[in-house]
Amino acid sequence: MKKSFLTLALAAACAAPAAAQTSAITDAILNQRSGMLDKARTSIDKAIVNEKTVGKAKAWYTRGDVYEQMMDSPIYAKMLQPGEGTQKAFESYTKAIALEGKDGEYGKQAVPKLDNLYARAFNDAVTAYNAKDYDKAIGSYKLASQIKPADTTAVLYGAYAFEAKKDVAGAKANYAQLQGMGYKSVAMYSRLIQMARDEKNDAGAMQALEAALKVYPTNKAFMLEELNMYISAGRGKEALDKIDRAIAADPTNSNLYAVKGSILDQNKQPDLALAAYKKAVEVDPNNFDAEFNLGVYNYNRAAEAYTRASKMSLKDYQTKGKSAEAEGKKYFEASVPYFEKSLQLQPDDRNTLSSLQKVYFRLGRNADSDRLNAKLESLKK
């Protein structure tokens, strides 16, 4: 009998460690349900490092749940380091899914938990950004990106946080990550070009611009930027040849003619620019840039005529002044339909409002001038 008792006692002793560790998960759950999250945390942290329970999805899921509840508690949240709760909950839910898949008992429950964590991490990042705590914002955006690796939003906003911090290298890294994810955005490429310009890195600006044009080959701003770079580099003829080749390939693209007009304007070739703008409007009467620039062309010719008259001697003015002013009035009148069309296309454009208001005033259309002046004042508020 004595020998038999000893054998039973030995068996019980050998089973004790595994039972104790399994009970650690149970203890954590019971303490969690009782609201004693500090004790639940202690128990579950022990369970996930023990060889007997480290491979149990239940242990990892419970750990994630405990840390998530701690974050929601005004008392226990103070026991966590900044970002610790979200990070550990993320690690725990991810591990639970890895151990038994998304269809397992605990893996299935962990999937929606990760979605909640993404929202929490993202909101933490936004709050930190608004408080100008850019390092914390960047860390939270990175965590959100870890939780949802295919989502581009956190990466994009992380780039904004890097820019706000004046960390150009960090912002560029995020933008490069976005491009690797297939993300496309005019704003993103514009930022990359501007950052290179701020660094006086002409080669980098051209590289970013070339990447932008591969994605947006007919974007007016990018096309004009490229041509301006050509001109700045003393390659004005190449710029015009390039735009002419583009027009030959796509003759119904109004933007190409508008860009050509802008280039010719910059090259001090106003008459050729006028022809290009007119062609742009002929192809597309709703091309704002072309309509506005046609208005500007006539406005400038009018201003030149009035300036010429004002500088005449009394003798010359008596013979030529009235003719010059009549010429100026003719050009002011010619500018009106173009400015009015521009305003129709973009009713709140300040440059159009200001230009047309001045033309109305010079033509004695005081009621129209006052109306636009009042609108300009309202836009300042």
Q: What are the pLDDT digits (tens) for 177-202? A: 999 999 999 999 999 999 999 999 98
Could you tell me the sign of the dihedral formed by the alpha carbons of 58, 63, 64, 65, in that order? positive
pLDDT digit string (tens) for 60-112? 999 988 998 898 889 998 998 877 888 899 998 989 899 998 889 998 998 89
Tell me how far apart the alpha carbons of residues 328 and 34 are, in angstroms, rounded to a whole number.
Answer: 87
Provide mean pLDDT across the span 293-314. 92
Question: Taking the chain, what is the end-to-end CA distance rounded to the nearest angstrom?
Answer: 98
Residues 6+ apart with CB under 8 A from 357: 369, 372, 373, 376
CB-based burial, 19-52: b 16+ in 10 Å, e otherwise = eebbebbebbbebbeeebbebbbbbbebbbebee
Confidence bin at 22 (pLDDT 50/70/90):
low
pLDDT at 245 > cutoff 90: no
What does the pLDDT look like over 208-220, one tens digit per residue? 999 999 999 878 7
What distances in angstroms separate CA 315 from CA 304, 307, 310, 322, 328, one per listed residue? 20, 16, 12, 12, 20
Proportion of the chain above pLDDT 90, given as a percent: 54
Q: Which of 142-151, 262-271, 328-337 has the lowest mean pLDDT?
A: 262-271
User: Could you read off the pLDDT of 249-296 as tens digits, one per residue?
Assistant: 889 989 889 988 888 887 788 889 999 999 999 999 999 999 999 999
What is the distance between the alpha carbons of residues 247 and 266, in angstroms, rounded to a whole number? 19
- Mean pLDDT of all residues in 123-132: 92
Angle (nearest 5°) at CA 337 between 331 and 341: 140
What span, in angstroms and rounded, lies between the C-alpha atoms of 94 and 64? Answer: 9
The reported pTM is: 0.58
Instruction: pLDDT band for 355, please (50, 70, 90 cuts).
Output: very high
As given in the structure block, the two tokens for residue 233 are 């580099």
Q: Check the CA dihedral 95-97-100-106 and report its sign.
A: positive
Helix intervals (H) in 216-313: 220-232, 236-249, 254-266, 270-283, 288-310
What does the pLDDT read at residue 155?
A: 96
User: Binning pLDDT at 50, 70 and 90, where does residue 168 land?
Assistant: very high
The predicted-structure confidence for 105-120, as pLDDT tens digits, reads as follows: 998 998 899 888 998 8
Query: Which residues, at least 6 apart from 129, have a Cβ–Cβ distance to it below 8 Å?
Result: 137, 157, 160, 161, 164
Average pLDDT of span 367-371:
95
Tell me if 298 sits within 8 A of 268, measured CB to CB. no
Task: Report the residue count for the chain.
Answer: 381
What's the pLDDT band for 350 if we cut at 50, 70, 90? very high
- Please determine, for residue 18, whether its predicted confidence score (pLDDT) is greater than 60: no
Q: Which of 290, 285, 324, 286 is nearest to 308 (CA)?
A: 324
Using the predicted structure, report yes or no on whether residue 10 has a pLDDT greater than 50: no
Average pLDDT over residues 14-36: 70
CA–CA separation, 257 vs 279, rounded Å? 6
User: Cα–Cα distances in Å, from 246 out to 83, 165, 240, 281, 294?
Assistant: 52, 40, 10, 17, 22
Q: Pick 234 or 105 by higher pLDDT.
A: 105
Helices 153-164 & 134-147, crossing angle to 10 degrees?
160
Residues 326 and 60: their CA atoms lie apart, in Å, by 86
Q: How far apart are CA 278 and CA 267, in angstroms?
A: 18
Task: Give percent of the chain with pLDDT exceeding 70.
Answer: 94
For residues 198 and 220, what is the distance between their CA atoms, to the nearest angstrom?
22
Better-predicted residue by pLDDT, 303 or 266: 303
> Could you give the CA distance from residue 310 to residue 326 in angstroms, rounded to a whole number?
13
14-28, 34-48, 184-198, 344-358, range with the lowest pLDDT: 14-28
Banded model confidence at residue 28, pLDDT cuts 50, 70, 90:
confident
pLDDT at 193: 94
- Report residue 311's pLDDT band, with 50, 70 and 90 as the boundaries: very high
Residue 175 has pLDDT above 90, yes or no: yes
* CA angle at 253 for the pair 349 and 276, rounded to the nearest 5°: 70
